[in-house]
Amino acid sequence: MQKRDELYRGKAKTVYLTDDSDKLILLFRNDTSAFDGEKIEQLDRKGEVNNKFNHFIMSKLEAAGVATQVESIISDTESVVKKLDMIPVECVVRNVAAGSLVRRLGVEEGMDLNPPVFEFFLKNDALHDPMINDYHVTSFGWATASQIEAMKKTTFAVNSILKKLFDDAGMILVDYKLEFGTDAEGNLILGDEFTPDGCRLWDKETRKKMDKDRFRQGLGSVVETYIEVAERLGVALDSVK
């Protein structure tokens, strides 16, 4: 498979066309950003760690019956993925109160949420990813009612799978976001990524933050902590041949 023109450049990933019209190459870069791109740095090895971390998590989800975009890992920083028509909303599940939920509602950080909270956000940096609901999604044509239900069902299924995976590795899955798209046949498929960039992880005993909050809050050791998370889970970080 040959890489062709750049299709899309995000804050930390670049998507390329290939000579297969149904496949794309997803490149994880070392760019690290926060606050809608107001804070940006290059962190050595971050792209590599996130690429391998994402492939590991998506493989676990595939094995559990969740259809994902990821096909194969082809280099330290690149993976082949299915081409999807992405739905422009983020599905967020919160198991523990943190981040914007604390700021919006004035609740205490660290409060267990039972049942977990599900939220939709519009994927739009210029508008700072505003919170939306099912009515916005259907009224503006971003997804159908059946797709909304399928996204919710899959997001909670992912929650059950990954909460246990991280718990067994001594970590709390605090919250995370997922994005979905449809393939050429209209099938709803989990897309984008699952890495410490898009979730919150805390050490189960110490509540040490082990995700991108280390970058947002200037805690340091960002990539080193991502590597610790990967090693606890058993992610192979050796070079891809």
- Break the chain into its structural domains and give their ranges: 3-82, 85-221
Q: What is the pLDDT of residue 241?
A: 45
Q: Three-state SS for 180?
A: strand
Strands (E), the chain: 3-9, 13-18, 23-28, 31-34, 39-42, 70-73, 78-82, 85-86, 89-96, 112-122, 131-132, 171-182, 188-191, 199-203
DSSP of 71-101: EEE-SSSEEEEE--EE-SEEEEEEEE--THH
Q: What pLDDT, in 10s, does the model give residues 218-232?
A: 999 999 999 999 999
Q: What pLDDT, in 10s, does the model give residues 30-89?
A: 999 887 667 889 999 999 999 999 999 999 999 999 999 999 999 999 999 999 999 999
Q: What is the pLDDT of residue 37?
A: 66
Give Cα separations from 14 to 55, 77, 113, 178 (angstroms): 16, 11, 35, 18
pLDDT > 90 fraction of the chain, expressed in percent and rounded: 94
At 232, which amino acid appears? R
- CATH assignment of 3-82, given 3.40.50.720, 3.30.1490.70, 3.30.365.10, 3.30.200.20? 3.30.200.20
Residue 25 has pLDDT above 90, yes or no: yes
CATH class of 85-221: alpha beta
Q: What is the mean pLDDT of residues 16-43?
A: 91
Residue 174 to residue 172: CA distance in whole angstroms:
6
Kind and range of the H or E run holding 45? none
Max CA distance (Å), the chain: 51
Residue 75 to residue 227: CA distance in whole angstroms:
18
Q: What pLDDT, in 10s, does the model give residues 198-217?
A: 999 999 999 999 999 999 99
